[in-house]
Amino acid sequence: MSIEDGQRAIEDGVRTDFRSRMDYGGYLDLDKLLDAQHPVSEPVHPDELLFIIQHQTTELWFKLVLHELTSVRTYLQHDEVSRARKALARVKHIFRTLAEQWSVLATLTPSEYAEFRSFLGSASGFQSHQYRSVEFILGNKNAGMLPVFAAKPEHQESLRQLLESPTVYDAFLRFLVAHGHQVPQQILDRDLTQAWVEQPELIPVFERIYADPDAHWAEYAMCEDLVDLEDAFQFWRFRHLRTVQRTIGYKKGTGGSSGVDFLKRALDLTFFPELYSVRTEIG
Annotated binding-site residue numbers for substrate: 51-55, 113, 117, 254
**Residues 104-136 as b or e (16 or more Cβ within 10 Å = b):** ebeebeeebbeebbeeeeeeebbbbbbbbbbbb
Annotated binding site for heme: 240
Burial class (CB in 10 A: 0-12, 13-18, 19+), 255: middle
Question: What are the start-end ranges of the H helices in the chain?
Answer: 24-28, 30-34, 48-77, 81-105, 110-114, 129-138, 153-163, 168-178, 185-188, 203-211, 217-248, 260-266, 273-277
**Quick check: 169 and 196 in contact, CB under 8 A?**
yes
Q: Which residues are annotated as a binding site?
A: 51-55, 113, 117, 240, 254
Cα–Cα distance between 97 and 93 in angstroms, integer? 6
Q: What gap in Å lies between CA 221 and CA 97, rounded to an integer?
A: 23
SS3 222: helix
Report the alpha-carbon distance of residue 121 to residue 151 in Å, rounded: 17
Amino acid at 254: T
Residues in the chain: 283
Which amino acid belongs to residue 65?
V
Q: How far apart are the C-alpha atoms of 179 and 259, rounded to whole Å?
A: 44
Taken in order 91, 97, 98, 99, the sign of the CA dihedral is positive
For the chain, the maximum distance between any two Cα atoms, rounded to a whole number of angstroms, is: 75
Taking a C-beta distance cutoff of 8 angstroms, is the pair 81, 71 a contact? no
